[in-house]
């Protein structure tokens, strides 16, 4: 069988969307039927010193050891992650492997704009040398093709195993936020919107599931007067996240920048109406009949969207039903992993033709 080497965060220990995607691909029955999937952790969570040491040691191991992979599937975020992973890609090419870059960074436009002209040229050249550059949505494909002038861009959406989702209509007036707590994902905007709803006498309960700026968000909730109507769980494992989403009727992610967030897919599969923003791949990701999209930073619109769903619970449940049907047909692992398998086979077939 062909061997695929996944290079990225240690998926057994790291949190975050990229690690979640790597775990999903490594355990994929669809891919395992055609390929041997191996993992090579390039980084891990921990203190700065331990992260730097681990990163350096792993790269040296990759350079020194013989490479026994037909395709190196390299997962990339923005900023320093990009430059580290491009080194892996260059080394893999020298060792005779096909190279696929899988770009997850939600802030890639900002990252690219921050580079010098020389840095942008270097980035364009490095990506152009890959056999394929996977992006998460058509909007990101347009960016990489138009701004980086790439001809090797392929769209592969994030996905989930819908069989593991516990779909049900959650408790009325129950809201969930799943993601890293901070400005980028709009957690502070949600607190402000909840404060506006509280001032109108509306009843709700919102669970914030994720790590990040927990203490600052708790203080913001206190100032907004919603401490009694919110809870902050910290980072949770996949099963506990599923429990929260299954108990909720509305999932909110008012982000300023995104790729193709797995948390929204999980929420749709678990039985949530979705309130989010029209950034990144989200407009392509959500089911139109099951979501309300607003502009990033528009707290008033966020409060209005939540108020409508809190008042009309039947509508929220109807949106949940539409979301489940949508995810099963488009964003289940079986569907998306088949698309990835076909990409692998095409690249390997191209390689075989060149060697004949």
Residues 221 and 82 in one domain: no
Residues 320 and 342 in one domain: no
Residues 215 and 293 in one domain: yes
Residue 300 burial by CB count (10 A; 0-12/13-18/19+): exposed, middle or buried? Answer: exposed
Residues 228 and 340 in one domain: no
**Buried residues in 57-90 as b, exposed as e (16+ CB within 10 A):** ebbeebeeeebebbbbbbbbbbeebbebbbebbe
- Distance of alpha carbon 253 from alpha carbon 296, whole angstroms: 10
Residues 90 and 154 in one domain: yes
Q: Which one, of 260, 84, 85, lies nearest residue 156 by Cα?
A: 260
Q: What is the pLDDT of residue 158?
A: 93
Q: What is the pLDDT of residue 356?
A: 47
- Can you give the residue range of the structural domain that contains 94? 2-159+333-355
Q: How many domains does the chain have?
A: 2
For residues 281 and 137, is the Cβ–Cβ distance under 8 A? yes
Q: What is the pLDDT of residue 48?
A: 85
Residues 173 and 86 in one domain: no
Largest pairwise CA distance in the chain: 73
Ranges of the chain with pLDDT below 70: 15, 351-356
- For residue 132, give Cα distances in angstroms to 117, 120, 311: 24, 19, 47
- Distance of alpha carbon 315 from alpha carbon 325, whole angstroms: 16
Residues 93 and 196 in one domain: no
Residues 126 and 238 in one domain: no
Residues 339 and 305 in one domain: no
Q: Give the per-residue SS3 of 58-109.
A: HHHHHHHCCCCCCEEEEEECCCHHHHHHHHHHHHHHHCCCEEEEEECCCCHH
For residues 242 and 271, is the Cβ–Cβ distance under 8 A? no
pLDDT by residue (tens digit) across 210-268?
999 999 999 999 999 999 999 999 988 888 999 999 999 999 999 999 988 999 999 99
Residues 243 and 313 in one domain: yes
For residues 5 and 35, is the Cβ–Cβ distance under 8 A? no
For residues 148 and 122, is the Cβ–Cβ distance under 8 A? no
Residues 169 and 291 in one domain: yes
Q: What CATH number did the domain enclosing 50 receive?
A: 3.40.50.2000
For residues 209 and 263, is the Cβ–Cβ distance under 8 A? no
Residues 199 and 235 in one domain: yes
Q: Give the per-residue SS3 of 264-324.
A: HHHHHHHCCEEEEECCCCHHHHCCHHHEEEECCCCHHHHHHHHHHHHHCHHHHHHHHHHHH
Q: Which secondary structure element, helix H or strand E, spans residue 178, and what is its range?
A: strand 174-178
Q: Would the CA dihedral through 3, 6, 12, 16 be positive or negative?
A: negative
Q: What is the pLDDT of residue 44?
A: 82
Q: Which secondary structure element, helix H or strand E, spans residue 214, and what is its range?
A: helix 214-224
Q: Would the CA dihedral through 329, 330, 331, 337 be positive or negative?
A: positive
CB atoms inside a 10 Å sphere around CB 288: 11
Residue 223's contacts (CB-CB under 8 Å, 6 or more residues apart) are none
């Amino acid at each position: 069988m062909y061997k695929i080497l996944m290079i990225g965060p240690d998926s057994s220990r790291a949190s975050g969307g990229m690690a979640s995607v790597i775990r999903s691909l490594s355990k994929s029955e669809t891919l395992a039927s055609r390929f041997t999937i191996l993992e090579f952790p390039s980084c891990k969570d921990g203190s700065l010193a331990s992260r730097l040491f681990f990163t350096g040691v792993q790269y040296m191991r990759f350079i020194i050891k013989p490479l026994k992979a037909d395709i190196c599937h390299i997962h990339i975020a923005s900023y320093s992650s990009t430059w580290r992973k491009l080194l892996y890609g260059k080394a893999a090419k020298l060792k005779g492997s096909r190279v696929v870059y899988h770009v997850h960074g939600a802030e890639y436009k900002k990252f690219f704009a921050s580079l010098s002209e020389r840095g942008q040229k270097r980035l364009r050249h490095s990506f152009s040398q890959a056999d394929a550059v996977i992006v998460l949505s058509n909007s990101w494909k347009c960016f990489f093709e138009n701004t980086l002038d790439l001809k090797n861009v392929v769209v592969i959406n994030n996905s989930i195993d819908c069989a593991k989702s516990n779909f049900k209509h959650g408790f009325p007036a129950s809201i969930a936020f799943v993601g890293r707590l901070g400005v980028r994902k709009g957690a502070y905007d949600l607190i402000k919107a909840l404060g506006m709803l509280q001032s109108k006498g509306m009843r709700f309960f919102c669970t914030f599931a994720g790590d990040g700026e927990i203490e600052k968000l708790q203080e913001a909730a206190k100032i907004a007067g919603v401490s009694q109507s919110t809870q902050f769980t910290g980072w949770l494992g996949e099963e506990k996240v599923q429990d929260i989403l299954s108990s909720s009727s509305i999932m909110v992610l008012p982000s300023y920048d995104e790729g193709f967030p797995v948390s929204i897919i999980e929420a749709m599969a678990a039985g949530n109406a979705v309130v989010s923003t029209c950034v990144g791949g989200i407009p392509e990701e959500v089911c139109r009949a099951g979501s309300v999209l607003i502009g990033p930073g528009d707290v008033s619109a966020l409060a209005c969207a939540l108020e409508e769903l809190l008042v009309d619970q039947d509508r929220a449940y109807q949106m949940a039903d539409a979301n489940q049907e949508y995810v099963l047909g488009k964003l289940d692992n079986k569907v998306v992993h088949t698309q990835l398998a076909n990409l692998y086979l095409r690249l390997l077939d191209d390689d075989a033709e060149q060697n004949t």
